[in-house]
């Protein structure tokens, strides 16, 4: 696996305000999409800014920058998180996956293929976060994790309701309103996995 030979420093110096001191940059490394990157960043740099501004992984989008829209969703050790709400330095020694890392070689992830096949996007700005969230959702279903809908309306694992899928994706907002096609894309992957499992 390739690694950055020299730490990459976060571009620009934050403005100095009276009575406000910046923290000195700290060296640390992040493992992203299977590669280790050595960084030299101020401890207050968010994971989102480290990905986009320092490492040029711009697939992860900055939407609201306050954890409300889900456009910045990435996977950390397989769990979905909002990259705008966490500091980069907190994720040393953890496996971070962005939308760029979902491909297997030249083969798109089944969720990516389903989003294209079901036309599950319009402007596309929220799509990387939606896709990362859907990938985590499928892993959560496979592991048997319940949602609040599951508790209120228990169903067999083979019959996940659309209401359950909407609840599980509720942290990701699509301002264009492509929700029916997003659910259809996720359903396509679930149904495909069910067919594969029954062979």
Specify the CATH number for the domain of residue 96: 3.10.20.30
Task: Show which of 101, 133, 148 is a domain's final residue.
Answer: 101
Does 14 share its domain with 79?
yes
Domain that holds residue 158: 110-197
If DSSP codes are grouped into helix, strand and coil, which group holds residue 95? strand
pTM: 0.84
Instruction: State how many domains the chain has.
Output: 2
Distance CA 72, CA 54 (A): 15
Same domain, 14 and 67: yes
* Residues 176, 95 share a domain: no
Q: What is the pLDDT of residue 167?
A: 95
- Residue 126 within any structural domain of the chain: yes
Looking at the structure, tell me whether residues 81 and 165 fall in a common domain.
Answer: no
**In 82-126, which ranges are continuous DSSP H helix?**
110-117
Do 80 and 12 share a structural domain? Answer: yes
Shared domain check, 137 and 89: no
Asked whether residue 137 is assigned to any structural domain, the reply reads yes
- Token duo for residue 81: 């998180």
Burial of 96 per CB tally in 10 Å (0-12, 13-18, 19+): buried
Average pLDDT per block of 10 residues along the chain, 199 residues long: 54 60 90 97 97 97 96 98 98 97 93 97 97 97 85 58 94 97 97 66
């Amino acid at each position: 696996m390739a690694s950055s030979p020299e730490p990459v420093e976060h571009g620009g110096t934050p403005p100095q305000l009276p009575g406000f001191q910046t923290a000195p940059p700290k060296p640390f490394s992040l493992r992203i999409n299977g590669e280790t990157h050595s960084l030299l960043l101020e401890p207050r740099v968010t994971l989102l800014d480290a990905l986009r501004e320092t490492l040029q992984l711009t697939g992860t989008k900055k939407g609201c920058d306050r954890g409300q829209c889900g456009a910045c969703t990435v996977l950390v050790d397989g769990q979905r998180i909002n990259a705008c709400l966490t500091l980069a330095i907190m994720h040393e020694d953890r496996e971070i996956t962005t939308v760029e890392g979902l491909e297997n070689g030249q083969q798109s992830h089944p969720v990516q293929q389903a989003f294209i096949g079901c036309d599950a996007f319009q402007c596309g700005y929220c799509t990387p976060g939606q896709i990362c969230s859907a990938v985590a959702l499928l892993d959560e279903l496979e592991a048997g994790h319940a949602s609040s809908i599951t508790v209120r309306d228990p169903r067999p694992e083979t019959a996940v309701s659309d209401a359950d899928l909407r609840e599980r994706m509720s942290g990701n907002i699509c301002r264009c309103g492509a929700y029916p096609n997003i659910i259809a894309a996720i359903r396509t992957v679930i149904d495909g996995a069910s067919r594969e499992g029954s062979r």
